[in-house]
Structure 1
Amino acid sequence: GKKQPHVLAVPFPAQGHVKPLMKLSRQIAKRGIKVTFVNIQCIHEKIVANNKNMSGDNINHNEEDNIILASIPDGRSPEDDPNDTFKLLESLRHSTPGFVTELIEKINISNPDQKISCLVADITMAWIFETAEKMGAVPVAFSPPSAAAFALVLHTPKLLQQGFLDANGSVTKSETISLSENVPTWQKNELTWSFSGDLQTQKIFFDCSKRISETVNQATWLLSNTCYEIEPSACDLSPNLLSIGPLLESPNPKSPPISCNFYSEDESCLAWLDSKPPGSVVYVSFGSLAVFSQQQLDELAFGLENSGRAFLWVVRSDLANGSRAVYPDGFLDRVGEVGKVVEWAPQERVLSHTSTACFVSHCGWNSTMEGAGNGVPFLCWPYFSDQYHNQSYICDEWEIGLRIEPGENGIRTRDEIRGKIDKMFCDDRLKKNAVKMKEVCAESVGEGGSSYKNLEMFINHLVE
């Protein structure tokens, strides 16, 4: 029989990494190519638990999607703290190559006509490419953040060599780092790996970035969830980067796709949105990792309430520094139907909903692409990593958002929050620019667009 291509997809085990790689996998599968999507066990269990569309038999197999969910152990011992990301990073690097090798061998024996021919891995897992080569699979790197964030990571060896950074990843020579005059500069404590006040953590993240710059060139292809038109200068800094984004959900899929949520989506907010006037709702979500002090949550609650606007607020069960949030006395009663609080929302359906006016966001790159791709302007509240630089794109480069500024003590006050919400509703320039962004993104992923052509080129190579 003719050999069929078969892709193994290996994400980094975080919500913001698993989701875009699954979207890429769906694009590949849609063209009739089989994809095995492999998560570490604890993440696999979360995804299966939160998949309403999967029952008994088809739990790991969605025929129509050509996607199979598989899992491998994470290599940690029972006494390790399950919430220690750094321990996880270390154990993954040592254990994953062996587990992935075994998985590929198993797949190849049971599917001799559909052996793993390509391994797509997150750039943070680029050390897995040695395994890919050993197993005869084409190594492909997938970069979930912006092209600018990727360029910064690629430039770390040079910045170290030229003395702009020290061994901890701290900026030594100036207040900022600039890679090109047309890419927003990075403030010294706003680099992808910055953790001011925790040098040990920062060094672990910085070493991870250095490792990416050393291993990622082993990949035959380098795919990025961005589009050339929105960050051309940053794309030009990495000539091998193929922009294939923004990876967005198709608005009304025939069958509900495998979702990759670590939390269960509360779809009741969609009917609630239906009941609100067009362009009236403030959507508030800080992604899967950000946490806040109780004081800051109180300020946000009062800011939303005092704005007098309808709001949909995503409050994860661990948002208050790892615990459940406590609302100000009587808050939920007072806001009544004007506000809705959910634990997790079907974000893209919220952003594409006509009632949604703006997005109070941590500015993770997935959220940035989903907001921009749906023509929704931003109120920016970055938490860490690349989110500050994404904020610069949103506010300064694309002019589709405003910053919610922290005060002296780092707290964003209720008056600042309310003031920026008011300003957003008074300034239609932001909305106009956001709608333009939506058109640019749609053109890029539409037939004949730059991202569309790059993705086609990659997929045609898989089939050859």
Structure 2
Amino acid sequence: MSVDERVNVLMVTMAFQGHINPMLKLAKHLISKGVHVTIATTEDGRYRMLNTANTNPNNSDVNSQIKLAFFSDGLTPEFDRSDGESLVNTIREKGPKNLSTLITDLTQVHNYSCVIVNPFVPWAIDVIAEHGIPCALLWIQASSVYSIYYRFFKNIDQFPNLEDPNEIVRLPGLPPFEVRDVPTLILPSTPFYFREFTRELYNALDKVKWVLGTSFYEIEEEVVDSLASITPFYPIGPVVSPFLLGEKEESDVSVDMWSVEDSCMEWLDNKPPSSVIYVSFGSMLVTSQTQMDNIATAMRNSNKSFLWVLKPGSNKDNVAEFSNGFSEETKERVLVVKWCPQEKVLMHSSVAGFISHCGWNSTLEAVVAGVPLIAWPSWTDQPTTAMLIENVFRNGVRLRCGEDGNASAEDIERCIRCVTEGPSAEEIKKRAREMKEAAWKTLQDGGTSSKNISQFISDLIAGKPDRA
């Protein structure tokens, strides 16, 4: 589809890897259809990008395809943004004015047909409305999570006592599940500022013209159908890099917050097919010492090879000591890196399973690559995604965690064997292959996601503003 050069889209996101990635991948889809894209993110992202070899923010673009723009979140580059309360409160106070100023500057050059935001900048929706630009929400979690939040904050369905983790939740489109599996941001134990931040989003939805989901219809069919009667929702995923879907790998467009260690690919090349367990808990979570110790014990006992991502900040003083007690033979089958090209790792023939925190980006990438999952959720949408993996998708198993969120070494080993050995592994692998096939088909001509993306772009063309 050819699109007139006056069709421009602005995307707004926080500078977290898991937030930027789906925006970037949707941008690639739009660019392939002729749409011009600018991604606006917070200034702290600029500073982190400057320290990686994968982006060049000095030119304010990514490989000359996607323009980058920056606005301040009101904090200094050195501020520890893991302090969630300070970050949320400050960006709610300072972000609207700073983003508004940036939009004013950008619209001196382009008239935007749409601004696409993600769920973690709900205050941006009002800013966009004040500028008179149509707004879309890119929902970067499972469609099921959107449904749970929507029904909760809009008081559409009755929820049980959320204080009791064993209570059963019954909602349209989903099998019965326990309160421990709901997104943590609606739980009474969640800090008030996080709950209110989420409530803001659902209060602002009347100003959003499109809600675009990064999942795809075929894996959440019943829940998407259940949403149709209460709110427009359009799955356009899986939003992943094109090469994961069998397309020719080009000079890839990337915005990495951490320096990638490509040495792991050579290491994988020297491993037998389906012999490696990949371990990564994303860009935000810090691996506790208990987690490290239990994973290391499971590694020793399972006789599998492991590629383990321990990002900067994850007990870096103890990383070198994690292999205490390993034999020399065991050490040879374990590689620890700070960051890796995850999609390429998941596509590698040597990878047999993925121990994941169940971030939605990682889950989708595993689905498209056909890799079985071992779910180790922590917070926000991750417990719900873990429930989906085990009970709805059936492409993996879930670790049994204690109240501290940690799983025993014995249970980690049990799950590794579940996805690699015996009848259970064969069923999980079969289901993973089926989901991979469905993921590839949905974005082909005539697929459900392809149709939804085309309709969205048609809407942009029909409503594009003319320049004076």
Is TM-score (shorter-chain normalized) higher than 0.5?
Answer: yes
Query: 2:58 matched to 1:60?
Result: no
Q: Helix, strand or coil: the match of 1:266? A: coil
Match of 1:155, SS state, is helix
Q: Are residues 1:249 and 2:241 paired?
A: yes
Post-superposition CA distance 1:253-278 (Å, at most 9, x none): 55433323221111111111111111
Cα distance change, pair 429–164 in 1 and its aligned pair in 2 (3 A):
closer
SS of 1:208's partner is: helix
CA contact (8 A) 1:48 1:59 kept: no
Aligned twin of 2:178: 187
The 1:185–1:300 alpha-carbon spacing in structure 2 relative to 1, beyond 3 Å, is same
Q: Is 2:166–2:178's contact at 8 Å kept on the other side of the alignment? A: no
Matched residue, 2:41: 39
Q: Which residue of 1 aligns with 2:435?
A: 437
CA RMSD of aligned residues (A): 2.7
Matches within 5 A, 1:119-268: 119-159=115-155, 164=160, 170-171=162-163, 175-180=167-172, 182-194=173-185, 199=189, 201-239=190-228, 240-251=232-243, 255-268=250-263
How much does 1:104 deviate?
1.9
Distance 1:400 1:323 in 2: 35
Identify the range of structure 1 (339-348 vs 151-160) with the bigger mean alpha-carbon deviation: 151-160
One-letter code aligned to 1:250:
P
CA distance in 2, matches of 1:133, 1:449: 32
Question: Is 1:353 aligned to 2:348, yes or no?
Answer: yes
Deviations for 1:334-393, whole angstroms, at most 9, x for unmatched residues? Answer: 533311111111111111111111111111111111111111111111111211111111
Equivalence for 1:86: 85
Distance 1:77 1:313, change over 3 A: closer
Contact 1:46 / 1:262 at 8 angstroms: preserved in 2?
A: yes
Flag the 1:256–1:242 CA change in 2: closer, same or farther, 3 A: same
**Residues 1:299 and 1:157: Cα distance change in structure 2 (over 3 Å):** closer
Distance in 2 of aligned mates of 1:135 and 1:207? 24
Higher mean alpha-carbon deviation, 359-368 vs 76-85, is at 76-85
| 3-state SS in 2 of match to 1:257 | coil
- Give the direction of change, closer, same or farther, for the CA distance of 1:108–1:424 in structure 2 (3 Å limit): closer
Residue number in structure 2 paired with 1:400: 395
2:466 corresponds in structure 1 to none
**What SS class does the counterpart of residue 385 from structure 1 fall into?**
coil
- Distance (Å, rounded) in 2 between the aligned partners of 1:411 and 1:120: 36
Q: What's the CA shift for 1:117?
A: 2.6
Is 1:302 aligned to 2:304, yes or no? no
Q: Distance in 1 between matches of 2:266 and 2:85?
A: 40
Distance 1:135 1:3, change over 3 A: farther
Deviates more, 1:28-37 or 1:183-192: 183-192
CA distance in 2, matches of 1:29, 1:203: 39
2:128, 2:134 within 8 Å by CA — same for their partners in 1? yes
Q: Percent identity, aligned pairs only?
A: 29
Tell me the amino acid that sits aligned with residue 429 of structure 2.
K
- CA deviations on 1:136-185 (whole Å, 9 max, x unpaired) are 321111110011111111122344995756xxxx44798132221x4144
User: What is the one-letter code of the residue matched to 1:176?
Assistant: I
Q: 1:69 — aligned with what?
A: 68
Gaps of 5+ in 2: 463-468
Report if aligned partners of 1:51, 1:258 keep a CA contact under 8 Å in 2. Answer: no
SS at match of 1:358: strand
* CA distance in 1 between partners of 2:327 and 2:377 (Å): 26
What is the distance in 1 between the residues matched to 2:294 and 2:307?
16
Q: Which runs of 5+ in 1 are unaligned?
A: none
Contact 1:117 1:138 in 2 (8 A): yes
Q: What TM-score results when the alignment is normalised by the length of structure 2? A: 0.88
The answer to whether the Cα contact below 8 Å between 1:123 and 1:142 also exists between their aligned partners in 2 is yes
Contact 1:193 / 1:205 at 8 angstroms: preserved in 2? no
**Could you tell me which amino acid in structure 2 is paired with residue 302 of structure 1?**
T
| Letter aligned with residue 179 of structure 2 | K
TM-score by length of 1: 0.89
- Cα 1:56–1:89 change in 2 (3 A) is closer
Equivalent position of 2:413 in the other structure: 418
Return closer, same or farther for 1:186/1:86 CA change in 2, 3 Å cut-off.
farther
Q: Pick closer, same or farther for the CA change 1:163–1:338 going to 2, 3 Å.
A: closer
Residue type of the alignment partner of 2:218: E
Match of 2:332 in 1: 337
Q: Distance in 1 between matches of 2:58 and 2:158?
A: 57
Whether 1:365 aligns to 2:364 is: no
Equivalences, count: 449
Q: What is the letter of the counterpart of residue 211 of structure 1? A: E
